[in-house]
Amino acid sequence: MPTFFSIPHLEDCQKRIRAYVGGACIIDTNKAKLVWEHPYYPSYFFSEDILPYFYLELVDTTPQLAVYHVTAGNKATHALTRYYQSELAGLFTIKFSAMDSWFEEDEQIFVHPKDPYKRVDILRSSRHVRVEVAGTEVANTRMPYLLFETGLPVRYYFPKTDCRLDLLEASDHKSQCPYKGEASYYDVYLSDDRIFPNIAWWYQCTTVEAAPIKSLVAFYNEKVDIWVDGEQQTRPVTHFT
């Protein structure tokens, strides 16, 4: 979110928002609000006049808020919070992960609501990009895709055929991104005592917007050495996503 906003920051959402759990539609509204409770991404909040009382079980209440279980399907514990005071008075929110699925209009979304102030651009490039891990070259290409995501370092995506696949071992780690999809990870295995876990990732399937990076491999700039057109890049300091 822009740094000039104070927290919490509220904005009207113009999309139809639906949430499902246990086969029941708990939320269906075109009057949701996007609320930033922290600077990283927003959450959906809703007016208390659409509280799904039929599916709620009160857990705790204070003068500031009330907490409910959502009872549709398998009980979603402490899933809904209703606010009585502060800028959030008259609103409630539901933990995104407590629902089976969320939809913006008729498109399913994942992980958390998309931030309207975050942009992802994926550009085909002819730059010469190479990556070393502990002095060993693990990727070298003149056909990278560069991914520019608001607030994060540029990510360089390599065709697998331009990577040292003999040094990449699939790990069990997964992560999800609402803008790109679900990522699978690689360890870089140089020797029995030089293993670098989850240092690279790729997307077997992507969101529609991120389709150009499907099956390409990226490495954490923060953990490897990267040269672009012969110039070594400074390792950024950032939160991993």
Let me know: does 202 contact 215? Beta carbons within 8 Å. Answer: yes
Residue 202 scores a pLDDT above 50 = yes
Helix (H) or strand (E) run with residue 91 in it: strand 91-94
Summarize pLDDT for 107-139 with one digit per residue, the tens: 999 999 999 999 999 999 999 999 999 999 999
Helix (H) or strand (E) run with residue 39 in it: none
Cis bond before residue 63 (omega within 30° of 0): no
State the pLDDT at residue 8: 92
Summarize pLDDT for 60-99 with one digit per residue, the tens: 999 999 999 999 988 889 999 999 999 999 999 999 999 9
Length of the chain, in residues = 241
Fold agreement (9-109, 120-232) = yes
Q: Which residue has the higher pLDDT, 175 or 74?
A: 175
Degrees, nearest 5: CA angle 122-124-125: 125
Concatenate the DSSP letters of all residues of 103-166 into one string. EETTEEE-SSPPPTT--EEEEE----EEEEETTEEEEEESS-EEEEETTS--EEEE-GGGB-GG
> What CATH number should be reported for the domain whose range is 9-109?
2.170.150.40
State the pLDDT at residue 237: 78
Mean pLDDT of 191-218: 96
Q: Helix, strand, coil: what percent of the chain each, to 5?
A: 10, 50, 40
Q: What percent of the chain has pLDDT over 90?
A: 91
The rounded mean pLDDT for the chain is: 94
> What CATH number should be reported for the domain whose range is 120-232?
2.170.150.40
> Residue ranges of the domains in the chain?
9-109, 120-232
Nearest to 221 by CA among 195, 194, 199: 199
Three-state secondary-structure class, residue 200: strand
pLDDT bucket at 3, cuts 50 / 70 / 90: low
CA distance 22 to 75: 9
Summarize pLDDT for 132-171 with one digit per residue, the tens: 999 999 999 999 999 999 989 999 999 999 999 999 999 9
CA distance 51 to 27: 8
